[in-house]
């Protein structure tokens, strides 16, 4: 699957809709059709799911169905899904999925129900299928089958402490070199904080590393071969691993979004390169609300090519009640619910008018939210969904990218050996087709 660029049509603005009541929506659509049924939702316990499940009782009241939530952290969720799907079990009806990561693999395995007909023939009038990001719907389509409906659009952005930057006499970094210089200055200026933190956990690294690779002008595959040992590939590997090795926290090779956001929110990190979804988590408690700046990752020689992806909701191909599952999916990805989630800091995948009064009021309330929106606009217009290798074995490819980065962070291998070992393993994956 080739990288998909997010065009301006995927701008992160909200659909100008009123907040329809359940009774009003039910008037022209039979939301009670599956009353009494129980839909099981396998969920990644991340900010997207947390925001959605705030309204769980609204779904149950609207439909008369019971929503059973099976919630895990990301890696455990995937392990649970693999177990269920390999057993061809019907115990999961709907699950969260990242098309940019596992879409090709899950589609090839036959794990997704096809939502093409359901989304046209079994949708409420106000669902507005065409209003969902065309780019994200395309990213979730494999061999003509629509496998998931987008829940959000996201990408990693730079959170930085404006008070520490001011104290240390640092300007917001415009380039990757500026970022490293800022980290070095903070290390000397304020030894009480970690200068920079980002993902070091092996399977999680590709999400943030890909941004660095694309910004310096690198690519994962050239002429059908892994390209990490190219000059640009080595530059990206060295830059990213050096930032974490020299300026990151102890044990950074075990860090994913939970640890990163906790470190930054508690005031123990000056810069955090983490998901735009983490705005809600980072701002929890209000301690970082007045001293945080947000921006896309600083430019490299190729400019800014941020990672831009989105979680999707899929119906299991093994579910015995796919239609009931689809009712939950369409409710969760409707304009009404996505607007509510946006007011919690979850960027919706619905390009539309930017003048929704409630949303604009929310944005204007805090400067950090204006910066968040501006960063997301860059993701939408310049972003790439190539996270790891665009092959069926994309999840496995991320392990080898992460291994190369960890080898360098821990000084277990020199750059030439780290990239060569990764390229050899990745070429074998690419050859599998």
Phi first, then psi: give them for residue 432, nearest 5 degrees.
-70, -20
Of residues 289 and 25, the one with the higher pLDDT is: 289
CA distance 39 to 19: 25
Residue with tokens 């821990």: 410
The secondary structure of 46-87 as a DSSP string is: SHHHHHHHTTHHHHHHHHS-EEEEEEE-HHHHHHHHHHHHHT
Q: Which two tokens stand for residue 352?
A: 């539309």
Task: Check: CB of residue 421 under 8 Å from CB of residue 237.
Answer: no
pLDDT band, very low/low/confident/very high, at 393 (cuts 50, 70, 90) = very high
CA distance 98 to 386: 12
Strand ranges inside 173-285, DSSP E? 221-222, 225-226, 271-275
CATH class of 156-307+391-431: alpha beta
CA atoms within 13 Å, Cβ hemisphere of 58: 17
Of residues 128 and 355, the one with the higher pLDDT is: 128
Closest to 205 in 3D by CA, of 246, 156, 158: 156
- At residue 360, the pLDDT reads 83
Of residues 348 and 301, the one with the higher pLDDT is: 301
Under DSSP, the state recorded for 37 is -
Mean pLDDT, to the nearest integer, of 347-364? 76
**Average of per-residue pLDDT values in the chain:** 91
- Domain 8-153+309-365 and domain 156-307+391-431 have a common topology: yes
Residues in the chain: 433
Q: What is the pLDDT of residues 44-93, one digit of tens each?
A: 999 999 999 999 999 999 999 999 999 999 989 999 999 999 999 999 99
Q: Can you give the pTM of this predicted structure?
A: 0.82
Task: Check: CB of residue 277 under 8 Å from CB of residue 46.
Answer: yes
Going by C-beta distance under 8 Å and a sequence separation of 6 or more, which residues neighbour residue 20?
A: 126, 336
- At residue 355, the pLDDT reads 57
- At residue 133, the pLDDT reads 84
Residue with tokens 């995927």: 10
Around Cβ 116, how many Cβ atoms within 10 Å?
13
Q: What is the pLDDT of residues 230-239, one digit of tens each?
A: 999 999 999 9
- At residue 350, the pLDDT reads 80
pLDDT band, very low/low/confident/very high, at 347 (cuts 50, 70, 90) = confident
Q: What is the pLDDT of residues 416-428, one digit of tens each?
A: 999 999 999 999 9
pLDDT band, very low/low/confident/very high, at 353 (cuts 50, 70, 90) = very low
Task: Check: CB of residue 115 under 8 Å from CB of residue 148.
Answer: yes
Mean pLDDT, to the nearest integer, of 151-169? 96
Q: What is the pLDDT of residues 165-186, one digit of tens each?
A: 999 999 999 999 999 999 999 9
Second CATH level (architecture) for the domain 8-153+309-365: 3-Layer(aba) Sandwich (3.40)
Closest to 32 in 3D by CA, of 80, 74, 81, 65: 65
pLDDT band, very low/low/confident/very high, at 19 (cuts 50, 70, 90) = very low
Percentage of the chain surpassing pLDDT 90? 79
Tell me the β-bridge partners of 156. 275
Q: What is the pLDDT of residues 86-139, one digit of tens each?
A: 999 999 999 999 999 999 999 999 999 999 999 999 999 999 999 888 888 988
Residue 431 has pLDDT above 60, yes or no: yes
Residue 317 has pLDDT above 70, yes or no: yes
Task: Check: CB of residue 423 under 8 Å from CB of residue 226.
Answer: yes
Strands 271-275 and 156-161: antiparallel
- At residue 348, the pLDDT reads 83
Mean pLDDT, to the nearest integer, of 371-396? 90
Domain residue ranges of the chain, discontinuous segments joined by +: 8-153+309-365, 156-307+391-431
Of 307-311, 352-356, 408-412, give the lowest mean pLDDT range. Answer: 352-356
């Amino acid at each position: 699957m080739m990288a998909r660029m997010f065009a301006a049509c995927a701008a992160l603005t909200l659909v100008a809709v009123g907040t329809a009541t359940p009774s009003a929506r039910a008037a022209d659509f039979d939301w009670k059709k599956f009353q009494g049924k129980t839909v099981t939702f396998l969920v990644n316990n991340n900010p997207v799911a947390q925001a959605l499940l705030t309204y769980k009782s609204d779904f149950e009241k609207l439909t008369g169905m019971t929503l059973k939530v099976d919630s895990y952290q990301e890696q455990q969720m995937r392990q649970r899904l693999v177990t269920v799907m390999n057993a061809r079990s019907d115990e999961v009806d709907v699950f969260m999925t990242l098309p940019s990561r596992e879409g090709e693999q899950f589609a090839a395995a036959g794990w997704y129900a096809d939502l093409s007909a359901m989304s046209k023939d079994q949708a409420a009038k106000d669902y507005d299928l065409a209003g969902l990001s065309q780019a994200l719907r395309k990213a979730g389509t494999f061999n003509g089958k629509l496998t998931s409906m987008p829940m959000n659009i996201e990408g990693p952005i730079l959170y930085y402490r404006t008070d520490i930057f001011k104290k240390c006499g640092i300007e917001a970094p415009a380039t990757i070199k500026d970022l490293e210089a800022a980290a070095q200055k903070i290390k000397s200026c304020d030894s009480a904080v970690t200068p920079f933190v980002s993902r070091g956990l092996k399977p999680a690294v590709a999400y943030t590393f890909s941004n660095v690779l694309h910004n310096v002008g690198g690519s994962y595959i050239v002429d059908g071969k892994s390209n990490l040992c190219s000059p640009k590939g080595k530059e990206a590997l060295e830059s990213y691993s050096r930032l974490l090795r020299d300026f990151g926290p102890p044990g950074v090779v075990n860090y994913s979004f939970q640890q990163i956001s906790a470190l930054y929110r508690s005031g123990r990190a000056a810069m955090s390169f983490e998901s735009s979804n983490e705005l809600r988590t980072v701002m929890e408690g209000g301690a970082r609300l007045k001293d945080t700046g947000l921006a896309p990752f600083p430019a490299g020689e190729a400019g800014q090519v941020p990672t831009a992806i989105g979680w999707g909701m899929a119906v299991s191909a093994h579910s015995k009640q796919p239609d009931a599952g689809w009712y939950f999916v369409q409710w969760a990805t409707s304009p009404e619910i996505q607007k509510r989630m946006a007011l919690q800091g979850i960027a919706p995948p619905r390009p539309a008018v930017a003048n929704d009064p409630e949303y604009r009021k929310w944005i204007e309330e805090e400067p950090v939210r204006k910066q968040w929106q501006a960063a997301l606009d860059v993701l939408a217009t310049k972003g790439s969904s190539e996270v790891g290798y665009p092959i069926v074995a994309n999840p496995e490819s991320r392990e080898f990218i992460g291994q190369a980065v960890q080898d360098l962070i821990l000084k277990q291998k020199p750059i030439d050996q780290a990239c060569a070992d990764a390229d050899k393993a990745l070429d074998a994956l690419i050859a599998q087709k």
